[in-house]
Structure 1
Amino acid sequence: MMLSTQRSLAAAQLGRNSLKEVVESRAPLREAALESFRRRNAVLDGIFYDIGRITHAEALKTAPWLAREGAILIVPPSDAGSLLLCNTIDDFWNAGGADVRVLAVAGVGSSAIGAAAFARNVADAFRVRVAAVVSGYGLADLLTEALGGWFWFGGLNRLRHQFEALDDMSRVLNRPEMLSQASSPLELGRVSLDTRTVVALLGDRRFNFALVTGHSKGNLVISEALYELEEREAGRAVPADKFWIVTVSAAVAMPPRYREKIIDVMGTIDGFGALNSTPGISIDKRCSFSWHHTNTDLPWHLPVTKVFRELKEERSLVV
């Protein structure tokens, strides 16, 4: 069974940026400095996500964008076509985003193949296309990584945002036109790129999501996006009854208006997820003998597709 995971991971690694692409990029020093961490995150995704469900062709297609934070993937169910990569919100719209009813955000490994694998598991449960937001790996992540941010993501994520301006300044130096999009570089750095994408998707009236779900640190991204919407809209954020929120492997605080439609899922042996959950939140669905990972090739996995199929029946989830 592990062969499928190894095959997808190998395909992704073969499709990594070549030395030529790194040298010719807009910020070659930045790209070269981060590349080893990006490769490591792809390996982590092989542990935490069901990447064996991603085909060889799809792995090659996503590989050049493994660390492109904020990109959107449209992931169909297994055997229902290949995933699509959208670099902007308008690209997502032009690719039929108005008909996509599920939004997913992966967390631990933070690469495109992990995001695609988590979204594929959800897509297989509902037999619909799922939008996946890619969490990236930038300079801000590199600095908090040195402080243990990968493990203690709940506590150190706020510190990460103090460093986000470094990523934005890097992008501004290579794309000066970005200065016109914010009143100051510090304003640009208030939230991370993956969070900005989730904010943009949930706040765009062209889209109508029925379900928003995250795994691990992806739930924190969703939480930050919802709180950001609350602040930006001065209490007039997306109505609570517009979509369900399902957190997998980390129960984090969400704005109160969403409370009635939140389902928190956790494995019974997932100490990692419990450690990074907000204290006091009760778990709605516990998965027996399941740890933090969702890779069906490995023992003690949390079976994402099975869980969502059960939730369809237990909670009448309709997308």
Structure 2
Amino acid sequence: MPIGDNLPTQSERSFLNLFEPPPQLIEPAVRACRLFNTALDIVFYDVATLAAQLAERDASVRAREEKTPSRIVQLDALSDPEGSLLLIDANTAPYVHRYTDVELFLTSPHPETRAVEIATITGVGSSALGSAALAWDISIALEKPVLAIVPGYGMADVVLQALGGWFGFGLYDYLHAKSLIQNALANAAPRTASIGRQLLASTPDAKTLHGAPVFRHGSGSSDVLHALLLHRDAPFKLLVGHSKGALQIGNAIRSLPPDRTHELQVVTLGCPISTDVEGVSYYQYLGLFDALGQLNMWGHRPNQWPPTWHSTNPNLPPAMAAGKYAADAFPA
């Protein structure tokens, strides 16, 4: 469905909208928080390598009069609260394709959308910059295209972050806190609840409350990944999640039919998850010095304890080598 098709008619809107501040007043604050999270992701992902290598590739792409890959690290893109799908191939021009509609991605005539076998979800700030950096790292290591799911950032994320969501993401995931907050916002302030949820709204059969998208599987990223796994003709073969992104992968695959998870491989970095989905192979890394990951492991033991902390940024050692770990987890 096109973005916005699931919005209500005027007569169906809650009377509470009369007391709701215009989204134009709320969105700048959400953008500011998104930009702060982008700055935070510079600590946890190899942003420096991404920016340098995208800049190197700009010239060749510009010569063909195509969109430059470095556009994804421009200021407007970094502060945008809306989510997106970034199809990244570090080895093949134009290197980056950006999609803002799940339905259009699923029905795209371009062969690269059907050929991609790897998807990633980041944690920490969950920004476009961090998502692209992790996917770029893995694309280089595996020499394959990678689909980075960039979570939308809305008021539910702002509230959860204010409650210490970075440190207790395992607990909040267990309590379904983000879903509860989004449902409450959709009931009381549906236009505000819709900020940052356009990608979620574009999933097939998106669930809404008073016109505002709400979560089925705990978060927008989980819902988007679930829809992609369920509706793609060729299912993904490998999913890689870092930090709370690993939890979102776990939520997304839990209720899929067995034929959609058969021979699926999952790699987690910095947050071990439950391994109870039939047909899925797991390989999980948790750093010896990763206090944040250990705080949220909830009894799930990793396959390997590398001597690292929570970051995948090699400029801040001892960091996890995300690309190498993904390649080593399931050697061909």
SS in 2 for 1:296: coil
| 8 Å CA contact 2:263, 2:279 repeated in 1 | no
User: How far does residue 247 in structure 1 lie from its aligned partner after superposition?
Assistant: 0.7
- Distance in 2 of aligned mates of 1:173 and 1:35: 14
- Distance in 1 of aligned mates of 2:125 and 2:298: 21
- Distance in 2 of aligned mates of 1:239 and 1:255: 15
- Distance in 2 of aligned mates of 1:215 and 1:199: 17
- Distance in 2 of aligned mates of 1:301 and 1:79: 27
| 8 Å CA contact 2:267, 2:284 repeated in 1 | yes
Which of 136, 153, 156 is the aligned partner of 1:137? 153
More helix by share: 1
CA RMSD of aligned residues (A): 2.8
| 8 Å CA contact 1:73, 1:83 repeated in 2 | yes
Mean Cα deviation higher: 62-71 or 83-92: 62-71
Aligned counterpart, 2:249: 222
Aligned counterpart, 1:190: 215
Tell me whether 1:52 sits opposite 2:52 in the alignment: no
Tell me whether 1:114 sits opposite 2:130 in the alignment: yes
2:301 is matched by which residue type in structure 1?
S
Aligned counterpart, 1:12: none
Gaps of 5+ in 2: 1-21, 56-67
- Distance in 1 of aligned mates of 2:28 and 2:88: 29
- Distance in 1 of aligned mates of 2:324 and 2:206: 43
Please list the CA deviations of residues 182-235 of structure 1 after superposition, one character each: whole Å capped at 9, or x if unmatched: 4744994234322221111111132321101100010111111122x34xxxxx
> How many residues of Structure 1 are paired with residues of Structure 2 in the alignment?
278
Aligned counterpart, 2:98: 85
Aligned counterpart, 1:257: 278
1:163 is matched by which residue type in structure 2?
I
- Distance in 2 of aligned mates of 1:181 and 1:304: 32
Aligned counterpart, 2:84: 71
- Distance in 1 of aligned mates of 2:283 and 2:144: 20
Please list the CA deviations of residues 24-59 of structure 1 after superposition, one character each: whole Å capped at 9, or x if unmatched: xx9322211212211110111100011123224544
Aligned counterpart, 1:299: 317
Aligned counterpart, 1:271: 291
- Distance in 2 of aligned mates of 1:173 and 1:310: 40
| 8 Å CA contact 1:226, 1:254 repeated in 2 | no
| 8 Å CA contact 2:34, 2:81 repeated in 1 | no
Which of 273, 276, 286 is the aligned partner of 2:305? 286
Aligned counterpart, 1:155: 171
- Distance in 1 of aligned mates of 2:71 and 2:142: 25
TM-score, normalization by structure 1: 0.78
User: How far does residue 79 in structure 1 lie from its aligned partner after superposition?
Assistant: 7.1
Gaps of 5+ in 1: 1-25, 231-235
1:276 is matched by which residue type in structure 2?
N
Percent identical among aligned pairs is 27
TM-score, normalization by structure 2: 0.75
When residues 238 and 109 of structure 1 are mapped into structure 2, their CA distance, relative to the original with a 3 A threshold, is: farther
Report 1 or 2 for greater relative contact order, CA contacts < 8 Å, sequence distance ≥ 6.
2
